[in-house]
Chain A
Amino acid sequence: MSWAWFHRFGSPPYFYWVAGKIAPWFGWPSLVLLLIGLYGGLVLAPVDYFQSDAYRIIYVHVPASWLALLTYSTMAISAAIGLIWRIKIAHAVAVACAGVGAGFTIVSLATGMIWGKPTWGAWWAWDPRIVSQLFLLFFFAGYTGLRAAIDDTDRADRASAVLAIVGIVNVPIVRYSVDWWNSLHQAPSVMRADGPTISWSMLWPLLTMALAYTFYFGWIMLVRARAEVLRRDRGSNWVREALTNEAAGARS
């Protein structure tokens, strides 16, 4: 198997060009899926027998939680690739993930708190799922804080990569905490070995929203990674050529 395609992504001009080409293919489908998912979740999905309309928070809470885990996993894998193969693009991707991941972990916690009040009677509970999700936020914050504390980009890349890799331990803990420990948080109802336990009329908007968030992540990661690559290489010849081509493209 040829790894040439993989190594080509290590080239900043190639990455910048490819990311610019494919980003819209993530952005627009994300918007369409988001509108379909919102309509399905807010209007078409039936009212829940136990939670009434309060359960509709699931359509923003679960995708945000899924996005937080996806973002952390992507960040840690990219950081590991950057550390092992010394590919700078991989570090740029990890940096692009960090800010968004922290934001969506906060959204996941906030929407979970709002959902917790009418269903559990409390805004917060020291529950394994919630606490491990809070640790995820600390790892994102630690990654960003560590980078901000080191002026030299190469050193910041290496140090923050180690922290990101250490933090990946927390991802399966977040995912399986409801199976491993007694939890106030409900058990998985979608990703189960014996199939989803949630009705299809409630499930399809959730899957659509999760897909919308996944496409959104693809788009935002590519845009942010392009900005990071430009920032790192702003004095180089390829950036001059890329800007010239972009200016010519804008004029024509």
Chain B
Amino acid sequence: MQEFWNQMHEFLKLMQEFFSMSGYAPFVWPAYAIALGALLWYAWQARRQLDNAREEARRKVAMRGDNP
């Protein structure tokens, strides 16, 4: 059991070191959040744009009397 807690302690220490980024965490993580947030946002927006364009086209076709 003591072995387990020692390993857990080592793991938590490693994680703490990783997330602290040698004291630069307030700079590194916000930069990554902005960059990855933008990737996700544009991916979601592009999918939504295509879905909206399809929906609008379907409505237009339906108004003409055809039904895809």
What is A's interface to B at a CB cutoff of 8 Å? 34, 42-43, 47, 52-54, 56-57, 60-61, 63-64, 99-100, 103-104, 106-107, 110-111, 114-115, 117-118, 216, 220, 223-224, 226-228, 230-231, 234-235, 239-240, 243-244, 246-247
A57 to B66, CA, bound (A): 53
User: Of residues 33 to 56 in B, which have CB atoms within 8 Å of A's CB atoms?
Assistant: 34-36, 38-39, 41-43, 45-47, 49-50, 52-54, 56
- Shortest Cβ distance from A212 into B: residue: B39
Contacts of B57 in A (CB 8 A): 230-231, 234, 239, 243
Is B12 located at the chain interface by the 8 A CB criterion? no
Interface size bucket, B side?
Answer: 20 to 34
Q: How many A-B residue pairs have CB under 8 A?
A: 108
**Which of A54, A117, A244, A246 is the most central at the interface, judged by chain B CB atoms within 10 Å of its CB?**
A54
Query: Which residues of B1-59 have CB atoms within 8 Å of chain A's CB atoms?
Result: 18, 21-24, 27-28, 30-32, 34-36, 38-39, 41-43, 45-47, 49-50, 52-54, 56-58
B31-A111 in contact (CB<8A):
yes
Give the distance in Å from the alpha carbon of A239 to the alpha carbon of B52 in the complex. 14
Report yes or no: B39 in contact with A115, Cβ–Cβ below 8 A.
no
With the chains together, A115 CA to B34 CA distance in Å? Answer: 13
Q: What are 19 inter-chain pairs, A to B, with CB distance below 8 A?
A: A34-B39, A53-B21, A53-B24, A53-B28, A54-B21, A54-B24, A60-B32, A61-B31, A103-B42, A110-B34, A114-B30, A117-B27, A118-B27, A223-B46, A223-B47, A224-B50, A227-B49, A231-B57, A243-B58
Q: Decide yes or no: A224 and B49 within 8 Å by CB, A103-B38, A234-B60, A240-B61 being known contacts.
A: yes
Q: Are B68 and A247 in contact (CB under 8 A)?
A: yes
Measured between alpha carbons, how far is A121 from B57 in the docked complex, in Å? 53
A250 → chain B closest CB, angstroms? 11
